[in-house]
Amino acid sequence: MAGNGGGGAQRPKVRLLRLAQGAALGLGAPLGWQVLCWLFDLTPTHPDYELVLNVYMAVGGVLVFAVFGYHLGRKEQRLERLTLVDPLTSLYNRRHFELMLEAEFARHLRDDADLSLLMLDIDHFKQVNDTWGHQEGDQVLMTLAGILRAGLRAQDVAARVGGEEFAVIMPGVGGAGALAAAERLRVAVRDGIFLVGPGTRIPVRISIGVASTERLAISGPTELFRLADDALYRAKRLGRDRVEPAWPGGAGN
């Protein structure tokens, strides 16, 4: 409740600041013209008065709108990023993940291209939060996100889809390739350096479920997600720190 009150108190200050900025910009144009007239001794009777005035207005107008457009574009970029990206890990968020999964599944149907999905979850993550606190747990999540970015291809889509649950869309990758990629990620996390507290290194392990259109007849993106998620929870039941495929035959196939 206190946080909401503080934010409300800040809003009038922001509005007053914007008002002052707008007034300063409004005063800038006539003041600038007066300075120009003083510097070049321009009067309404000067033969070049109207020419200089028109040039001044044109250049000033272009500059003002260019600066405004640039500022507005940066604001739009920030807003767009907020709608696509998880603010903690800088991976994509669940909303964008679902949109990308639909798009990639449509491409799979159109081009008859393989599509695989990894679902992964940090093992015993609650113990990290309970032992070290949520701030240190957040640090573990950020470190894991960095390992994912470093271990994936440019065309793969990594997203945080839950508290400690992540997903990776792998376009053009079949079952064997997806299993190999999942195993590389599992080992990279196992060997990764996760620091909490005053520089204390802790072991972090992940379980991964893998589903692939190359190995299974999958009707849509929702089913692909469900199958990968089911495989993830099977990996949890079988002991964690392992990769499980959604198709029969075990991780060796």
DSSP state letters, 109-129: HHHT--EEEEEEEETTHHHHH
Sorting pLDDT into bands at 50, 70 and 90, what band is 46?
Answer: confident
Please, are residues 118 and 208 in contact by the beta-carbon 8 Å criterion?
A: yes
Please, are residues 230 and 246 in contact by the beta-carbon 8 Å criterion?
A: yes
**What is the 8-class DSSP label of residue 16?**
H
Alpha carbon separation from 140 to 145, 147, 179 (Å, rounded): 9, 11, 24
- The tokens describing 234, both together, are 């099977």
With a CB cutoff of 8 Å and minimum separation 6, the contacts of 151 are 181, 184, 185, 188
pTM of the model: 0.71
Arithmetic mean of pLDDT, 214-224: 96
Distance, CA of 138 to CA of 88 (rounded, Å): 7
- Asked if the model's pLDDT at residue 251 lies above 90, the reply is no
Sorting pLDDT into bands at 50, 70 and 90, what band is 55?
Answer: confident
The string of pLDDT tens digits covering residues 90-146 is: 999 999 999 999 999 999 999 999 999 999 999 999 999 999 999 999 999 999 999
Break the chain down into helix, strand, coil percent, rounded to 5.
60, 15, 25
